[in-house]
């Protein structure tokens, strides 16, 4: 079982007629954040099926797929890593995390990040020092910054939002739209579990944070409160519902 076998399986499922559309969707066009990426034309459900079929692929072959493959090959490699991680012992999990962190350059679009960051790095850091997230959040690479904030989803799901809000403070004035969306999304998830904490953070930052980030964060609030945040009429001393 080798990386080439996975590629062959994906190619057999590919619809080349969808390649141009995928390239546009993932901004793999000149000047886009995914510029230069290659696509095979395989749906995500089909990639997940291939990942299940090749779940026992050796880590060296998964890495080959991750660092040399087209977009769908890289995503399939990440699906395989997530499956392996969920069943692995501590030593094997560390190998997977070391591989992931060594090859973040291949995890370079939002779907790749969102399908791996909290499932791998976030889960690994549940009971460990999380200082690495500060390093990733300070990276020049937007995908590493997104990995940092998205990894905290694993903590949020356990009602632990300290690091989400800490990284939101760090990333609140980030210049990349994909970071605005990710931070807003995680703030929304915090609000689903601890409304008071999310409201307090937003009351401090809503006037200066990017509008996209704000809109994502307040999406689940009632209409009146959303309008007040968007109008900038909330202050840290406001008695929020």
More confident of the two residues 32 and 240: 32
- Mean pLDDT computed over 159-184: 97
CA distance 41 to 71: 9
More confident of the two residues 8 and 235: 8
Three-state DSSP class for residue 71: helix
- Mean pLDDT computed over 141-152: 98
pLDDT of residue 237: 54
Q: How confident is the model at residue 235 (pLDDT cuts 50, 70, 90)?
A: low
Q: What's the mean pLDDT when you consider all of the chain?
A: 94
Query: Of the ranges 95-99, 151-155, 232-236, which one carries the lowest mean pLDDT score?
Result: 232-236
In percent, the amount of the chain with pLDDT more than 70 equals: 97
pLDDT of residue 89: 95
Three-state DSSP class for residue 228: helix
pLDDT of residue 238: 55
Cα dihedral 145, 194, 230, 206 in deg (nearest 10): -50
CA distance 205 to 77: 38
pTM of the model: 0.93
- Mean pLDDT computed over 107-135: 97
What is the 3 state secondary structure string of 86-152?
Answer: HHCCHHHHHHHHHHHHHCHHHCCCHHHHHCCHHHHHHHHCCCCCCHHHHHHHCCCCHHHHHHHHHHC
CA distance 202 to 222: 15
Q: How confident is the model at residue 46 (pLDDT cuts 50, 70, 90)?
A: very high
58-111 pLDDT, tens per residue? 999 999 999 998 999 999 999 999 999 999 999 999 999 999 999 999 999 999
CA distance 238 to 241: 9
CA-based torsion, 227, 233, 235, 241: positive or negative: negative
Q: Is the pLDDT of residue 239 over 80?
A: no
């Amino acid at each position: 079982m080798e990386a080439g076998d996975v590629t062959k399986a994906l190619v057999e499922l590919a619809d080349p007629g969808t390649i141009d559309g995928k390239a546009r969707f993932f901004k793999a066009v000149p000047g886009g954040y995914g510029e230069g990426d290659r696509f095979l034309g395989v749906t995500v459900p089909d990639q997940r099926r291939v990942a299940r079929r090749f779940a026992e692929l050796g880590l060296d072959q998964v890495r080959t797929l991750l660092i040399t493959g087209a977009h769908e090959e890289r995503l399939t490699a990440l699906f395989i890593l997530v499956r392996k991680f969920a069943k692995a012992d501590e030593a094997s999990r560390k190998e997977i995390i070391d591989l992931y962190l060594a090859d973040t350059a291949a995890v370079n679009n939002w779907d790749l990040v969102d399908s791996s960051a909290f499932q791998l790095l976030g889960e690994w850091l549940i009971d460990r020092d999380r200082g690495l997230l500060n390093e990733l959040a300070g990276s020049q690479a937007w995908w590493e910054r997104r990995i940092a904030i998205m990894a905290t989803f694993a903590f949020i799901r356990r009602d632990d939002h300290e690091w989400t809000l800490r990284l939101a403070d760090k990333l609140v004035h980030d210049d990349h739209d994909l970071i605005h969306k990710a931070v807003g999304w995680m703030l929304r998830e915090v609000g689903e579990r601890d409304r008071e904490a999310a409201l307090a953070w937003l009351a401090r930052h809503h006037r200066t944070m990017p509008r996209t980030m704000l809109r994502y964060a307040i999406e689940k609030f009632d209409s009146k409160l959303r309008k007040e945040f968007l109008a900038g009429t909330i202050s840290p001393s406001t008695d929020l519902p």
